[in-house]
Structure 1
Amino acid sequence: MASERESRSRGNNLKWALGAVTLIAVVATALAVTLLLSGGSDRDPAANAPSKTGSDAASGIASANDTGPVAVITEDPSCGAWTSIHNDLASGGELLWNDRDLSVPASAWTDKQRGKFMAAAQAMRSAAAQTVGLAKLTPHRVMRELYEQFIAYARAYSERIPKYTPADNNLAGTANSASSALGAICAAITDGSAAARGPMVPPVAAPSQIAPLGNPANPQSFLTSPTPVCAEWKAALDQFGRQTADWQKIDPRIPAMLWNPEQKATNYAAASLMNTYASKLEQLGRRSGNPIFQDFAELSAQYRRAFVLAVPTYTPPDNHLANAANYASTIILGACAALAAW
């Protein structure tokens, strides 16, 4: 995890072992990578505005008419701003946030600890406020949903800080996954892996239901009540982590042309498992009955399939596809765990 800042900026970030990632591991570096914006106001004047519906809600939202199936995204006008902000905050987080002890509740903080947590809350509020514009700018529904869920969970976490308990890290972990998924998607666009692999991925069926448009300045959590699919989702991620343990150990900076026989065999074996895994996630998403849950599940599945297609001619930028798939799946994992905090 310590190399995450460098890896995200250079496209060499390591694979996440989804099944092995416990919730605390997901959130342990949340503020190092989710505080994606610095400076500026920490308040959005529209944050407390009522949610809108119909044509009013669609006004100014570029993705309002995106009702098609989720696919690998090959271009997005919001990525330039997001990537710049992402890198700046990740760099700042290395100095400001990483040494916080997340296991200590607010009732036991020293003055120094309180200062760190309050500064983190301030930065997350600022990040959430400034992300609103990107949620409106992107023409892709699922990108808007990622931005909105980052906003929702980042704000929820910052609001918990005055009475913080370790369980609140589930909120930060979900915000972290949303921000990291966005970072990986944009990196895959910038480095060309999305355009090279994405068009070859067979499309999924169009969704039967689309989440209604709301106010991007005041988005709500996509998961607010327990669902049996949460347990199945975690089980699927756990199993995938165990099954691909050897694959996770291979340095993603090594291109396919330099794999030794063992590495090649391990990658091809993992690719076979990934196709099955992607289908499982897609199935669970559709069974959830939750349009945003389904979008994130299919986003993870489609990026996983894109990575599988890349395996025979794999180059390091293709690892962005695997990371996008990983983080899209841990958004759901974190949201399920965070239910008790809402």
Structure 2
Amino acid sequence: MSVVLVLILGLLVWQETSRESGSGTGDPSRMADDRIDRSVGLLREKDPVCDHWHQAADELNARTEVWSEVDDLTPASRWTPEQKRIYADVGEAMTASSDRFESILPQARNVTIQELIAQVIVYLRKYVQALPEYVESDRRYASIAMNFVNAVTYSCSAVPLVEDMADDEILVSTVAQPALLEDFMPSPDQICAEYLSVVELQNTVLSGWAETDATVAAAQWTEKERALNNAAREVLLTDSTRVREIARNAEGRVIGDLIALQSSYMRAFADAIPTYAPDDVWLWRVSTGIGGGLGAACGANT
């Protein structure tokens, strides 16, 4: 089941401004009234939702383990009795998880954490609704949801790594209702083609780096590994700037927030490379989780 990182798969091998579709207010001074942190950047303090999120996400991952190994290219009309049972089980698991995520969503105080959780709920439910007449294209609903699940999990896990890091630019979200349970990209955003071209090129350019061992610290790198990582750092720094510019041109405010957020974690990981320690991989995982969900969402509308 290829539910993780539709277009950045090669990079995942290694690890294993803002707008909204809809109306909103652009006055940041009015955004503090609801106690939401509307800064779009590295999550520097553990969000109140993180502890409950980890528990809920772990339960979903456990209940979808068998499903993740199923061939997701087979339509419902051709499922075997065993596949029908597996999909029925995952439908129940995703329904239960989406309800649980909705119940803890109000605890979240960071704007992008709210946006990610809201879209997890939306796309888990879209996937479950599609199961009775499932076709190959419906798998992207699961890819969006599960990648964004990972992005929230990794953001919470990476907090100790970024507490003292500098963020090149803090943007302020203008999304009026970040926890709104509506599809953040009901039709193709104008920036999808440009965004996907950056992702695809990055995947190609970094293919050699993607094969290095993420568990090896910089102090133990060979000369070849050091050269690959230094080259990857330059690519990621350049791409983080390009991605942030793309975010500014997004029609949808939520997708603009999430692309800008990915840029922040991409740059943070690049900055960590010279002194890389294995825990720094969490920064990259946030970036790839966001990117996987965005890539699937853009692809789902083509």
Distance in 1 (CA, whole Å) between partners of 2:150 and 2:9 is 18
Asked whether the equivalents of residues 108 and 114 of structure 2 are also in contact (C-alpha less than 8 Å), the reply is: yes
Distance in 1 (CA, whole Å) between partners of 2:229 and 2:82 is 46
Decide which of 299, 315, 319 is 2:277's aligned counterpart: 315
* Structure 1 pair 176–233 and aligned structure 2 pair: CA distance change class (3 A): same
Tell me the TM-score normalised to structure 2 length.
0.86
Asked whether the equivalents of residues 43 and 156 of structure 2 are also in contact (C-alpha less than 8 Å), the reply is: no
Give the C-alpha shift of residue 294 in structure 1: 0.9
Q: Do structure 1's residue 183 and structure 2's residue 153 form an aligned pair? A: yes
Counterpart mapping for 1:96-115 below 5 A: 96-115=66-85
Q: Do structure 1's residue 294 and structure 2's residue 260 form an aligned pair? A: no
Asked whether the equivalents of residues 62 and 138 of structure 1 are also in contact (C-alpha less than 8 Å), the reply is: no
Distance in 1 (CA, whole Å) between partners of 2:116 and 2:34 is 12
Q: Do structure 1's residue 212 and structure 2's residue 182 form an aligned pair? A: no
Decide which of 250, 262, 265 is 1:303's aligned counterpart: 265
Question: Could you list the per-position Cα deviations for residues 50-101 of structure 1 after superposition, in whole angstroms to 9, with x for gaps in the alignment?
Answer: xxx99xxxxxx9965433343343321211122223233323433x313322
Amino acid at match of 1:337: G
Partner of 1:239: 201
Question: Could you list the per-position Cα deviations for residues 198-253 of structure 1 after superposition, in whole angstroms to 9, with x for gaps in the alignment?
Answer: x322223434xx22217x4x601100112331111111100011111121111111
Partner of 1:45: none
Partner of 2:108: 138
- The farther-off stretch of 157-166 and 71-80 is 71-80
Distance in 1 (CA, whole Å) between partners of 2:155 and 2:64 is 21
Amino acid at match of 2:168: P
Partner of 1:42: none
Give the C-alpha shift of residue 110 in structure 1: 2.3
Asked whether the equivalents of residues 16 and 248 of structure 1 are also in contact (C-alpha less than 8 Å), the reply is: no
Q: Do structure 1's residue 68 and structure 2's residue 39 form an aligned pair? A: yes
Counterpart mapping for 1:1-342 below 5 A: 18-20=7-9, 65-94=36-65, 96-189=66-159, 192-196=160-164, 199-207=165-173, 210-213=174-177, 216=179, 219-339=181-301
- Secondary structure, aligned partner of 1:245: coil
Distance in 1 (CA, whole Å) between partners of 2:297 and 2:259 is 13
Distance in 1 (CA, whole Å) between partners of 2:96 and 2:110 is 24
Give the C-alpha shift of residue 145 in structure 1: 0.3
* Structure 1 pair 174–140 and aligned structure 2 pair: CA distance change class (3 A): same
Partner of 1:36: none
Give the C-alpha shift of residue 19 in structure 1: 4.2
Distance in 2 (CA, whole Å) between partners of 1:62 and 1:97 is 42
Amino acid at match of 2:177: L
* Structure 1 pair 72–202 and aligned structure 2 pair: CA distance change class (3 A): farther
> How many residues are matched?
286
- Secondary structure, aligned partner of 1:200: coil
Q: Which 4+ residue blocks in structure 1 deviate beyond 4 angstroms?
A: 15-22, 61-64
- Secondary structure, aligned partner of 1:228: coil
* Structure 1 pair 246–16 and aligned structure 2 pair: CA distance change class (3 A): farther
Asked whether the equivalents of residues 18 and 240 of structure 1 are also in contact (C-alpha less than 8 Å), the reply is: no
* Structure 1 pair 16–226 and aligned structure 2 pair: CA distance change class (3 A): closer
- Secondary structure, aligned partner of 1:81: helix
Tell me the TM-score normalised to structure 1 length.
0.76
Distance in 1 (CA, whole Å) between partners of 2:272 and 2:86 is 42
Distance in 1 (CA, whole Å) between partners of 2:94 and 2:286 is 22
Amino acid at match of 2:167: V
Asked whether the equivalents of residues 60 and 94 of structure 2 are also in contact (C-alpha less than 8 Å), the reply is: no
* Structure 1 pair 16–314 and aligned structure 2 pair: CA distance change class (3 A): farther
Give the C-alpha shift of residue 303 in structure 1: 0.6
* Structure 1 pair 172–228 and aligned structure 2 pair: CA distance change class (3 A): same
Asked whether the equivalents of residues 41 and 261 of structure 2 are also in contact (C-alpha less than 8 Å), the reply is: yes
Distance in 1 (CA, whole Å) between partners of 2:6 and 2:131 is 29
